[in-house]
Amino acid sequence: MPLQRRLPKRGFVSLTADRNVEVRLSELEKMPVEEIDLLSLKQAGIVPGAALSAKVILSGKLTRKISLKGVGATKGAKAAIEAVGGSVADIAAA
């Protein structure tokens, strides 16, 4: 029997899964800057240096105005950011 049929199936493991990071709204609240991009998230230590992309998720509260550029956001997080007067730039435009 051929080797590929003798070995068990292992499934699929994404090689970039650990380089796509989720960021909570509560973590953005603690940042001292108003304009937030991937570089500022790396400098603040919220995102590891090897991260390729980040996405903001709706977890926690946001009470101040921020502006996201080049960072993705879920629908709920985008609504929460815009509710306090902030803005979310489209990731394709950044």
Digitized pLDDT (tens) for each residue of the chain, 94 residues in all: 999 899 998 888 888 888 999 999 999 999 999 999 999 999 999 999 999 999 999 999 999 999 999 999 999 999 999 999 999 997 765 4
Task: Evaluate whether residue 61 is within a structural domain.
Answer: yes
Asked whether the beta carbons of 61 and 29 are under 8 A apart, the reply is yes
Which residues have a Cβ under 8 Å from the Cβ of 15 and sit 6 or more positions away? Answer: none
Which residues have a Cβ under 8 Å from the Cβ of 88 and sit 6 or more positions away? Answer: 67, 68, 73, 78, 81, 82
Query: At 39, which CATH number?
Result: 3.100.10.10
- Domain range enclosing 59: 20-88
Task: Evaluate whether residue 93 is within a structural domain.
Answer: no
- pTM for the whole thing? 0.78
